[in-house]
Amino acid sequence: MGRDVPSQEISATKGDGIDELLELVHLVGQMVEPTSDSEKNEAIVIEAKRDERAGVLVTLLVRHGSLHKKDFLFSDRILGSVKSMVDEYGKQIVEAGASTPVVVSGFSELPERGAMISISSKKPQAQDLIKTRTDAENDESLQFPIFLGAEVSYNEEEDSDVVLLLKSDVQGSLPAMVRMLGRYDWQALRVKIVLGGVGVITENDISMARISHAIVIGFKVNISRKIEEFAERSGVILHLIDVIYDLDEIVEKIVRKLAPLPESEFEEIGTAEIKKLFHSEPISSDSYSTRSIIGGSVLSGEFRNTAKANLIRKNKKVGLVSIESLQSDRKDAVLVIEGSMYGAEVYSSTNIKEGDTLSLFMPVTQS
């Protein structure tokens, strides 16, 4: 590139120029003679992941000073101490100097990629340094819940049309997933990400997804057959992907099933009150999360067995409903008119409550 920045052409596919690049790096290192501050022990997080057996594993690059086994690691709080340390060749070591990459175990939690980690050989000294820090680093960690979607003003108490729970193989993948999801056109669907985590999908993840009616998206993560079966029994939808761009297909499915139709594509046919919720259970479907047996009365217009409905609660749309079967006077019915009682089996994208209203509509066939 000229001046003080040398360049070297390489080919990742053919391997051309790699030896020359390494020689160039070595040469620049000799010429520039980079130094580190030996009075300041510090490392930067390159990557972090959670291993089923070893726990939290963090790849660090020592920037200043050195890192030793049993040293304490901290940022704005104690993060752990070095239990084991492996170099780039997989060899166990007890000390790493400046510019040395190592994989460390002993962290109590996953640090953020790019986070600066301070090192101390004594716990009291680390605690004192934490208390006296005045130049605290900006916290760029993801704060959940995260709200996405267009043309919607959120608060945490509002219901959402789509709830997502994300799991990834390493910490650095989560922000990338959130950024990609935020770029999609959700067509006015209210989208909330309730949790992001690293590591395998666990029973706790499925339980949380069931309670919050969330769709679980796992990126390069494993799931046991036992957890898969638990998710199926709980009615939790799972999407496992190995390529982040496969989020395109997942979002497309969600939007196609749940996005409200433009006004020109449906006809309102009536409203019905839900007076009784006889039964409710979770189901596993790309479109809906709950199967319910309901009963009530038709307030206006008519209730058809092929209709769909917006679920209205306190004058606000909270979900989408598909009518699976309809009854009147304990007999199957095609149509129930205004003022009559009905019973129905329905699928919904969120839990139904007694007192909710169905705003019924029929898709309009385009000629």
pLDDT of res. 259: 66
324-332 LR contacts (CB < 8 Å, sep 24+): 324/291, 332/305
Dig out the tokens for 303 from the structure.
Answer: 């209730």
* C-alpha atoms less than 13 angstroms from C-alpha of 218 in its C-beta half-sphere: 20
Mean pLDDT for the stretch of residues 257-262: 64
Domains 42-132 and 146-258 share a fold: no
CATH of domain 146-258: 3.40.50.10050
Identify which has the larger pLDDT, 188 or 134: 188
Identify which has the larger pLDDT, 315 or 157: 315
Residue 155 reports pLDDT greater than 60: no
Mean pLDDT for the stretch of residues 194-213: 85
Residue 367 reports pLDDT greater than 50: no
pLDDT of res. 39: 67
Question: What are the residue ranges spanned by the domains of the chain?
Answer: 1-34, 42-132, 146-258, 263-363
Residue 25 reports pLDDT greater than 70: yes
Is residue 251 exposed (0-12), middle (13-18) or buried (19+ Cβ within 10 Å)?
Answer: buried
pLDDT of res. 67: 92
Which residue's structure tokens are 């049309």? 161
pLDDT of res. 142: 66
pLDDT of res. 151: 45
Give the number of other Cβ atoms within 10 Å of residue 191's Cβ: 24
- Kindly report the pTM of this predicted structure: 0.48
The two beta strands, 55-64 and 66-68, are: unpaired
The two beta strands, 215-219 and 162-168, are: parallel
Q: Domain 42-132: which CATH class?
A: mainly beta
Please provide the average confidence, as pLDDT, over all residues in the chain: 81
Residue 90 reports pLDDT greater than 70: yes
pLDDT of res. 87: 92
Q: What end-to-end distance do the CA atoms of the chain give, in Å?
A: 62
Residue 135 reports pLDDT greater than 50: no
The pLDDT > 70 percentage for the chain reads: 82
Mean pLDDT for the stretch of residues 227-236: 87
Window from 296-300, 310-314, 338-342 with minimum mean pLDDT:
310-314
Question: What tens digit of pLDDT does each residue of 109-119 get?
Answer: 787 777 778 88
- The model's confidence at residue 154, banded by pLDDT at 50, 70 and 90, is very low
Residue 309 reports pLDDT greater than 50: yes
Residue 127 reports pLDDT greater than 70: no
Contact 332, 302 (CB under 8 A): no
Query: Radius of gyration of the chain from Cα atoms?
Result: 28
Residue 231 reports pLDDT greater than 80: yes
- Specify whether domain 263-363 bears CATH 3.65.10.10: no
If phi > 0 it is left, if psi is from -120 to 50 it is alpha, else beta; for residue 91 that is: beta
Residue 263 reports pLDDT greater than 80: no
